[in-house]
A and B are shown apart, each in its own frame.
Chain A
Amino acid sequence: MITAERKPLEEIIEYIRPFQKILLIGCNECVTVCSAGGRKEVGVLSSLLQMSFLKQGKNLQIREHTLERQCDPEYVEELVSMVDGVDAILSMACGCGVQEICRRFKNKPVFPAVNTKFMGASERQGVWAERCQGCGNCLLGVTGGICPIARCSKQLMNGPCGGSTSGKCEISPDVDCAWQLIWDRLKALGMEDRYEEIIPAKDWRPGRAAGPRKIIREDLAE
């Protein structure tokens, strides 16, 4: 999933300071799962903002709404009736959701309330970690199912650097060394020989190198 964290309150306040009526929208997908921008977080942020503005003697009107999926035009359409009466929109979705709102409502200022972080997975309650960088040509089949692009701090495709120590990455004892993980897994699978195959220099075009990416499925596209 896509992970996110709420922006500092002060930054959000600065965005909406000029406005009276705000539409605050959450998203029911990834940002709900990582507790950054779901219905609950929309409620909390709404109260925080109202309290903060009240202290300054200002009455901020916030309308709250959480969409099934903010990155999907079909659901964004639901907002049409709510948007007219507000001065600005504050979105708690990931960057994709925010931009979808911008695209649909051309005449309304739209602001992000979260920082979109990475594609990751939950390691345990309250902890998410990066797993994939969307390189567009997945190597997991040859690296024991562990991504060296997203999980090695130097993006090394052919083995651990000289800084790997006791299973941890040289940059921090809190970061697992991806190559230790890869090696452990290859060993567990009896596939140690795999390690010696050289992964050639990556063609980054399926990734970001060829500019913004798009998928067109002829069978589905209208």
Chain B
Amino acid sequence: MKTDSVLEKVLKSGNLAVTSECGPPRGAVPEKVRQKAEMLRGYVDAVNVTDNQTAMVRMSSFAASVIIRQMGLHPIMQMVTRDRNRLAMQSDIIGAYSHGINTMLCLSGDHPHFGDHPMAMGVHDIDSIQFIQMVRKMRDEGKFQGGADIENPPKMFIGAAANPFADPFELRVARLAKKVAAGVDFIQTQCIYNLDKFEKWMAGVRDRGLDEKCYILAGITPIKTVGMARYMKNKVPGMDVPQEVVDRMAGVPKEKQAEEGIKICVESIERLKQVKGVAGFHIMAIEWEQKVPEIVEKAGLYPRPQIA
């Protein structure tokens, strides 16, 4: 075991892991963090805490992660290279570790263009792969990126994202290989709607044995309405929603669409369980956290293994 991360323990035990997500609020309202996280208690192994998601200012991922940790849950602190240089990142990492946060996700982040501060300068001192290298060096060598020794180095279980659906497709396995070479421990993928394409990517991943070098959690997002399906299909860069999914949502009356969305999501999980190399699921129910327990139960992922 490289760390004390509960997620690492669950994965190592061979159980399918389940993670979900909590987007911090846009204000000093800690009770909102608690509310969202409380809905997930017992149904997931760890909770991703997003870092200024979609480039909108929110309560910091660090602060919200501390709140969630204090509730006795296990946060996965997300951190983007967009908002911090390597000094700020490393100080937050040792700070978070000092608060019992031992699992994190290294990301580059959405461009400020998409958020509510498009006039802001992105930092991008390092990129997501260099970020993984830095956190691994902190953990395994006990050294800061600049080379100096760390007193009580943070032992972080290191995650990153992968998007099998972005272009160029032929580079997507190689991109994962680079993250593995950089030292990533687990991957959470972009939401999967195009299962055929995902399976094709996984075949490439297995060909190179990458599934044995890192744990891959398949990304799942329930669709609420046909409008949301269309929006994701047409407007979100790097998202692949096949027409069949849109049609299926459109084929049921409005009041039944949410139910249909959950059904699609559970069916996807069932199919993905059969894919060799899938080590668990990352269920991102954005502003729909209350549905996560239902999905976890229906997908046969409940109860969660009790691992101390």
Residues in A lying within 8 Å of B, measured CB to CB: 153-167, 170-172, 177, 179-180, 183-184, 195-196, 198-202, 204
Instruction: Report B-chain residues with C-beta under 8 Å of the C-beta of A165.
Output: 166-167, 237-238
Residues in B lying within 8 Å of A, measured CB to CB: 81-82, 86, 108-111, 113-114, 122, 124-130, 133-134, 145, 161-163, 165-168, 171, 174-175, 177-178, 181-182, 190, 237-238
- A87 to B10: give the CA distance in the assembly, Å: 76
B178's contact among A163, A172, A198, by CB below 8 Å, is which? A198
Rounded to whole Å, the gap between the CB of B130 and the closest CB of chain A is: 4
Pair B178/A158 contact, Cβ less than 8 Å: yes
Pair A160/B167 contact, Cβ less than 8 Å: yes
Pair A156/B167 contact, Cβ less than 8 Å: no
Which single residue of chain A is at the shortest CB-CB distance from B82? A154
B238's contact among A153, A157, A159, A162, by CB below 8 Å, is which? A162
A171's contact among B86, B111, B190, by CB below 8 Å, is which? B111
Pair A154/B238 contact, Cβ less than 8 Å: no
Rounded to whole Å, the gap between the CB of B55 and the closest CB of chain A is: 11
Instruction: Report A-chain residues with C-beta under 8 Å of the C-beta of B122.
Output: 153-155
Instruction: Report B-chain residues with C-beta under 8 Å of the C-beta of A166.
Output: 167
Which 10 A-B residue pairings sit nearest by Cβ, starting from the closest?
A162-B163, A170-B237, A163-B237, A158-B129, A155-B124, A201-B130, A162-B238, A156-B127, A163-B238, A171-B113
- A161 to B167: give the CA distance in the assembly, Å: 9
Pair A196/B124 contact, Cβ less than 8 Å: no
Asked, given contacts A198-B133, A204-B125, whether A180 binds B167 with beta carbons under 8 Å apart, the answer is yes
- A198 to B82: give the CA distance in the assembly, Å: 20
Count chain A CB atoms within 10 A of each CB in B129, B175, B237 and give the residue with the most. B237
Rounded to whole Å, the gap between the CB of A133 and the closest CB of chain B is: 11
Pair B181/A167 contact, Cβ less than 8 Å: no
Pair A170/B167 contact, Cβ less than 8 Å: no
Pair A161/B130 contact, Cβ less than 8 Å: no
